[in-house]
Amino acid sequence: MSPERHDAWLENGASGRHRTALVTGCAGFIGSHLTESLLGDGIRVLGVDCFNDNYGRAQKLRNLEEARSWEHFEFIPLDLSRGDLEDLVAEADVVFHLAAEPGVRASWGRRFESYLRNNLAATQHLLEATKACPGQRFVYASSSSVYGQAEGLPTSESAVCRPFSPYGVTKHSAEQMCMLYHGNFDVQAVALRLFSVYGPRQRPDMAFRRFSHAILNDDPIRVFGDGEQTRDFTFVSDVVDAFRAAATGAGLAGQVYNIGGGHQVSVNAALELLGEYAGRAPRVEYLTVQHGDVASTAADTTRARADLGFEPLVQFPEGLRLELDWVREQPQLDRVESGVAER
C-alpha cells in the first residue's frame, strides 16, 4: 500500500483510536500475512479463525506468533456460520473476509456440506452483519476457480464464470452474494479473484509446499496429469498489497478484480526450478488427471492495475526460492508426506 493510501485510511478513523480491521481466516496462509501487514502500519486487527480441520492447528498457531506480539491484535476463535456477528463487525472500519473451506479435490462427496457452511453460509452471515454498518468496506477473497475451464487466456473479469468443481461453485456463489448485498443494501463489497497464491506458510496440501517437502527429502513427487498444465502463480505479498488497496480505493464497491502474478508457468517448469535450488533432480510420478482440475489459468489484471494500482513485484523464481527456504526451516514435526497436491 502506498503511503498516501495508508495515511488517508488512518486519518479517516475516529480521533484517539487505531483504525480497526476485521480479518477472517487470520491464522491461515494469506490471512496471517495480511494481519501482520496491517499491524505493522499501526492498524488494530480483530482476527477471527475457527481452526477447522483442513490442516493442522500447530501450523496455524505458528502463523499467528508474530501477530500475537502486537498489543493492538485481538484474536477471536469463532465459527462465522454460527453466533452473533453484529457487535464484532460494528467494531471494524473494514472487513477482510478470507475465511473459507479450501481445496478443489476435497470438495466432492460428503465434504461438500462443509464447503456450503464455511464458504457460502458464513459469507452470508457476515454480510448480514455488515449491512448495518453504512460505508464499511467489505473485501472478499474469491478465487480463479470461478472461471473453470476458461474459454480464453488471459481471462478477464467479463468472462463467463463456469466453475468446474464444487469448491468453485461455492466461491462463485459467495462472490455473487457479496454483489447482491451491494445492490440491495449498499454494502461496500469488493471481490478479489485470486490466482494460485504461493509463498511461505502455504497450506500443507498445496503443490509447492508438498513438492518442496518431497524434493528436500528425496521423495517421489506425484503430479496429476502430464505436468504441462499451467497456472498464473501469485506471490503472497503481492496478494496482500491487493487487499490493502481494495480496502482504500474510491469507487470500487460492487466490482470484482483478477489478482494474478503474471507468471504463467507449467508444473514441470516449476519442478525443474525446484530441482536447481535443491541441488537434486525431482523424482516425478505422473498420475491421472483428477475431477475438477483445469488445464490452465492466466489472469488479465488490466482492471486491477487501473483501479487498484496493482503491480506484482515478486518474480516467480524469487518467490519459489523463498517458499523452498521457508519449508526447509520448518520443524520436523510439521513435515508432510510428499503425496499429491492441490494447485
Could you list the beta-strand ranges (E) of 7-72: 20-24, 44-49
Give the C-alpha separation, 111 to 101, whole Å.
10
Neighbours of 306 (CB within 10 A): 10
Residues 119 and 48: their CA atoms lie apart, in Å, by 15
94-97 and 137-143 beta bridge pairing: parallel
3-state secondary structure of 37: helix
Residue 235 carries which DSSP code?
A: E
Catalytic status, residue 147: no
Compute CA 322 distance to the chain's CA centroid, rounded to the nearest angstrom.
Answer: 18
Q: How remote is the C-alpha of 104 from its chain's centroid?
A: 14
Longest CA span, the chain: 59
Write out the three cell numbers for 126. Answer: 457476515
Q: Report CA-CA distances (Å) from 288 to 134, 223, 224.
A: 50, 8, 5
Q: Are strands 263-266 and 230-235 parallel, antiparallel or unpaired?
A: antiparallel
Q: Which of 167, 181, 198, 257 is catalytic?
A: 167
Q: How far is CA 147 from CA 90, 95, 172, 219, 292, in A?
A: 33, 25, 9, 33, 12
Instruction: Give the Cα separation of 315 and 101 in Å (integer).
Output: 28
Catalytically active residues are: 167
